């Protein structure tokens, strides 16, 4: 795969109903930092990786693109619930994936699902318009034919592909609305919903495969259609792209985006493991990242911690071009190495 160099993150630019977003996952192409050793071995269970001057940039890249993978958005569309657009191999993420489910669910509860009369049967078998099938079980808790608390939809795909889509879907997806206030049309709303996936995968015509197992919850809302606040969190989620596996655990990403001036703020925490890292690291923002979309952060800091409290701290510089890297290999709170690096070389 091709490394995506000089990338500028589009933090939440299209926050209302983005249908798909795309971004590089950890080390799947060796891009960013020092790349990685491409270790194809299994990931040790809760095995923290010792952070050294040799692997610090690879570790930092893993934490950064995980945050990126949870928050970046784009606006490509899909006619299926999965909402995955693999226009660029090896790119995928969570926020717009979640929002695509909400958009699709909102449409379907209004009766727009082809070949299904909502509310007439608890379970419906659907022939996908190009090939394959899907079994859909929808519960409209208050028969409002719109999104409301208690609604849920469960879909089981079997090689499902709709006309115009570039991918074939297999596996299970369940979405449940936890709470909803306001109205989307009034630009004053707040919603919380969960998504769980079981062996859910999408394969494009070139054979690229994205798969997800696990789940997460998204809380998102706005009071004025200008400032959007969101929290994406979960206990465990495994994403695999063409066999390159990345697992998030105990994760929480909080974000705020101001559409009037494109400013953003982001806080993140969690644990990420991958077969490229050969284990796991813990990450946490110790000062909120902030900046102007589509640029890199101009303030804020994140610490990534590995075995024996070894760590690397990333501190954004006010120029929005550079980041300070402090590497502490023995956890004594004294950096063993400190230097500046361009964001675009580290976060790619």
Supply the pLDDT for residue 134: 84
Number of domains in the chain: 1
Give domain status of residue 16, yes or no. Answer: yes
pTM comes to 0.76
Distance CA 301, CA 90 (A): 27
Q: Which residues contact 334 (CB under 8 A, 6 or more apart)?
A: 328
pLDDT (average), residues 74-100: 42
Q: Does the pLDDT of residue 81 top 50, yes or no?
A: no
Beta pairing partners, 60: none
Supply the pLDDT for residue 192: 92
Q: Does the pLDDT of residue 179 top 90, yes or no?
A: yes
Give domain status of residue 59, yes or no. Answer: no
Give domain status of residue 305, yes or no. Answer: no
Q: Does the pLDDT of residue 294 top 90, yes or no?
A: no
Structure tokens at 89: 């191999």
pLDDT digits (tens, 9 = 90+) for 231-283: 989 999 888 878 778 889 999 999 898 989 989 999 999 999 988 788 999 99
Q: Does the pLDDT of residue 6 top 90, yes or no?
A: no
Residue 112 lies in domain: 10-25+75-216
Q: Does the pLDDT of residue 313 top 80, yes or no?
A: yes
Supply the pLDDT for residue 138: 80
Say which range, 46-50, 71-75, 164-168, has the weakest mean pLDDT.
Answer: 71-75
CB atoms within 10 A of CB 105: 22
Structural contact between residues 58 and 50, judged by C-beta atoms closer than 8 angstroms: no
Supply the pLDDT for residue 15: 25
Out of 29-43, 148-162, 232-246, 322-336, give the one with best mean pLDDT.
322-336
Give domain status of residue 60, yes or no. Answer: no
Give domain status of residue 100, yes or no. Answer: yes
Residue 99: is it exposed, middle or buried by C-beta count within 10 angstroms (0-12/13-18/19+)?
buried
Say which range, 76-80, 181-185, 187-191, has the weakest mean pLDDT.
Answer: 76-80
Q: Does the pLDDT of residue 9 top 90, yes or no?
A: no
Structure tokens at 52: 């050294």
Averaged confidence pLDDT in the chain: 74
Give domain status of residue 112, yes or no. Answer: yes
Give domain status of residue 154, yes or no. Answer: yes
Cis status, amide bond into 162, omega within 30 of 0: no
Distance CA 305, CA 283 (A): 6
Give domain status of residue 198, yes or no. Answer: yes
């Amino acid at each position: 795969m091709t490394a995506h160099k000089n990338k500028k993150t589009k933090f939440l630019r299209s926050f209302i109903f983005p249908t798909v977003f795309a971004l590089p996952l950890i080390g799947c192409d060796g891009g960013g930092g020092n790349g990685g050793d491409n270790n194809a071995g299994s990931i040790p269970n809760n095995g923290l990786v010792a952070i050294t001057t040799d692997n610090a940039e690879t570790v930092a890249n893993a934490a950064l693109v995980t945050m990126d993978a949870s928050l970046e958005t784009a606006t490509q569309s899909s006619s299926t619930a999965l909402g995955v657009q693999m226009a660029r191999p090896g790119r995928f993420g969570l926020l717009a994936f979640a929002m695509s489910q909400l958009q699709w669910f909102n449409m379907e509860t209004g009766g727009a699902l082809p070949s299904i009369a909502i509310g007439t049967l608890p379970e419906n078998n659907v022939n996908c318009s190009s090939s394959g099938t899907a079994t859909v079980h929808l519960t409209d808790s208050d028969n409002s034919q719109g999104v409301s608390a208690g609604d849920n939809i469960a879909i089981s795909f079997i090689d499902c592909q709709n006309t115009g889509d570039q991918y074939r879907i297999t596996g299970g997806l369940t979405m449940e609305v936890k709470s909803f206030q306001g109205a989307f049309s009034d630009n004053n709303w707040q919603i919380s919903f969960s998504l769980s996936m079981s062996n859910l995968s999408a394969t494009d015509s070139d054979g690229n495969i994205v798969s997800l197992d696990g789940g997460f919850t998204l809380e998102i809302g706005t009071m004025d259609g200008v400032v959007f606040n969101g929290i994406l969190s979960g206990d465990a989620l495994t994403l695999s792209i063409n066999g390159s596996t990345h697992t998030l655990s105990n994760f929480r990403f909080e974000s705020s985006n101001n559409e009037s001036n494109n400013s953003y703020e982001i806080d993140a925490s969690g644990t990420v493991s991958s077969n490229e890292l050969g284990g796991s690291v813990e990450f946490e923002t110790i000062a909120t990242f902030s900046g102007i979309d589509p640029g890199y952060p101009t303030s804020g800091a994140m610490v990534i911690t590995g075995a024996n409290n070894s760590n690397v701290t990333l501190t954004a510089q006010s120029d929005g071009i550079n980041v300070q890297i402090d590497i502490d290999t023995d956890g004594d709170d004294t950096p063993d190495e400190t230097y500046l690096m361009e964001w675009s070389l580290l976060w790619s």
